[in-house]
Structure 1
Amino acid sequence: MSNKATGAQTIREALTRQNEEDEDEEGKEDEESRACGVCGDLAKGYHFNALTCEGCKGFFRRAIKRSTQLCCPFLNKCTITKNNRRSCQACRFRKCQAIGMRKEMVMSEKEVLERRIRIKKKKMLVAPIQLSSQQEETIQELLCVHRSTFDSAFYRFSGFRPMDRNILPASEYNHSENEPPYTCSLSSSLSSSSSSSLCGSFEKQDNQGGEQARESTAVFTALPHVADLTTYMIQDIISFSKGLQDFRSLSIGDQIALLKGATFEVMQIRFNMVFNTKRGTWECGHFTYCIDDALRAGFQPLLLEPLLKFHHTLRKLGLQEEEYVLMQAMSLFSPDRPGVQQHSVIDELHENLAMTLKTWIDCKRTGPEKHLLYPKVMACLTEMRTMTEEYSKQVLQIQDIQPDVISPLIVEMVRKNPCNDL
């Protein structure tokens, strides 16, 4: 019994040794098969049609691109090994050619660059789009400053002159032949955007102040209230701008230039956040305004028609708060404003904000509409730029007709000459 056990153990040991010997032989054969055909070093794969190491791969590429011919200082019979492969470049190159390395497989610098670009694009398509930490910090800063400077319920709007929605007859004031009377309503010309009952919701806002305003000789009865509302909005926009670190880092001259150019646009973006598309009204807490209020304040259809259309278009995009604040910042940091000196700095800030907005939309939005959202937002920003000049022009015309009603801050914002302080 013990002899049988001993025999079994001997067979087991013999089999084990044979398996180990076989594995060693396979390992040696594998190492030999993975040896570089040029120098014998460990090969990493096939390069230019031959099995070579990384060193000989790089050498062959460099040798192909050399403008001078390689020459052997001996008899063109040097033995190339891992240790001496750098001693004779000519024989090493000849060995590369002998094992089948092909020079036509070496890519040019242009081909290498194009290949890298293709790989990078492929990785970008595969990798999920994410906001960088800097982009997230930018959004958080904008949100924090916006929320502290925009009172969507208009609780802080106080001490204003009351709204009077009466329009005095044209016969009560003189106007030139080129100036149209401001007694018409936009309800007919904007029937697609405004409701026929726009002004029906304003009865609750009429008070004793309205009666007092009607007794005055003012031409634009709603102007005092609208001027106070505008001044209030401008002050908050200045606070918003000064709350941004990038804005504070600019020179005072550039701060003023950016504010003068962007205030109207930022104000409209903020008003859009409280715009009701169904009624065509701006619901500012316990205040509700319609486009006819701007008409009663002296503004003309040349501005009001595209302005109302703009609010409908932007509001229907269903923007999130983050997208609204990025729009405000992009409008503020526009490098092409008149009087701007630090163009390159502001242009970089604008580009970073635009990229942040696009990345945010790509990350946070779902559905096919997200692919068109970014260009639509950019189109809205462009549309506002076309209205800014007309707004400034009409404010100054109203100021000429009815002086001492519009605040100096509003006039300073729309005048082209530089102002001295914020």
Structure 2
Amino acid sequence: MIHSRCSTSTDEPVDLPEFSLSPPALSAEPSTSSPSKKSIGSRVERPTECLVCGRSAHGYHYNVASCNGCKTFFRRMCLSGRSFSCKLDRDCFDLTKRKTPAKCRACRLQRCLSVGMDPGAMEVDEKAASSSTYKSLLKRSKVKEEDQDDCQIIALVSNNSKKPWELVKSLENKLQNTIDMLVYLESKVEKFRKSSYNPDWNEMDGLEFLLKTESRIGFADRYGPMKECPIRSDQKKLPPPPHPSSAKFGGPKHNPDRKQWMYFNLFTTVEYAKTFMFFHRLDSRDKFILTKHITLSCMNLHLSYISVARKSEVLTNPDGTSFPSRTQAHYTSKTMSVAPLIRYQIQYIEYTLLKAICLCNPAVPDLSHHAQEILSKEREKYADALFDYCLRTRNDGPSHFAQLMQIFDVLERQQKLQKDLHLLYILPTLAHAPKCLVIRVIEDIMES
């Protein structure tokens, strides 16, 4: 999902519709519609951060890692029968704008709902269950769960339910909604890359700092497009980089008018990941581990597709500069994912779905069981959407789908090669570089 909405009343929708489509495909994981069926014991690691307020978490409450204070608040609000509105700017729980949340019950409840707290997970008596607020939130939760669990559609076909063609139409609509949302997101991402927003990497204190702040994709509208884009031909030729053996080499100084594209492309990919609602259901440790592993692969897929769309093997930046040249030693490591995209004649929608699948990688080492469960379900949704799209648009749908999934092997090899080259040639020189020249975001992601 892209960004949650904040409402002034508990009767309004909380979120934009989540990407939803999940007939069983990559995973044989059973569907769980109630908290009693979820394996709490599988969460072998205690969560460290409350997803609502950012303080220390005490466990999983109503299916969300949270502290006892937010657990008690959510239960009290659900059973109170009252509704509240924000008297400020509906950003009282935006921790990027304030160190501690403001005392606003409307925004706090909104935050509880947006991170996934489920009123259906409560144990309530008959009197408490009659609360109008509880009924409203429970109904909303059930509607959302039905949208996320399309396996129910298959069961409906067999008995006295909707006609099969109506169910097929419903599933097709959900598949199309998923595609439309990803296409829209990708357009926003590319607009962000082409914007004049160019923060100094010294302001971004590494990957962990980026993950603690809200997504900046919307900054593209605030800053507008880059000036002189593409740049003049007489400016395209960049000075050759110093030899890696030079002890003074630490990378270029930040130039507010010219982007350091390796940094900005990785930065953009992290911002892309932060637009998905499921990403914010992960604790801070899992977010760091996941982005450290998948950012380079997602970035390579993005840049390679842009190259293929331009019918070129050369990777070209939005300002018109190209990299790398065929004579450079790292040419293969930068371009090896271009060839399979050309060979399989990948389409734009296939690329957007493939990128989402690449993001949702439950096989990343050291992830908690909770994160693996979330990522498995999300990957299954996008894989099902891609498979359905291949069936509808390709004569060789199943085999084409299999070919597209093989691209992940190339992306993994490419990522490993790039990290090895960075370790061998770049990292030794950075030990002697001034601190202001070391780009922490790159170093965090490149670290094996």
The answer to which structure, 1 or 2, has the higher relative contact order (CA under 8 A, 6+ apart) is 2
Richer in helix (by share): 1
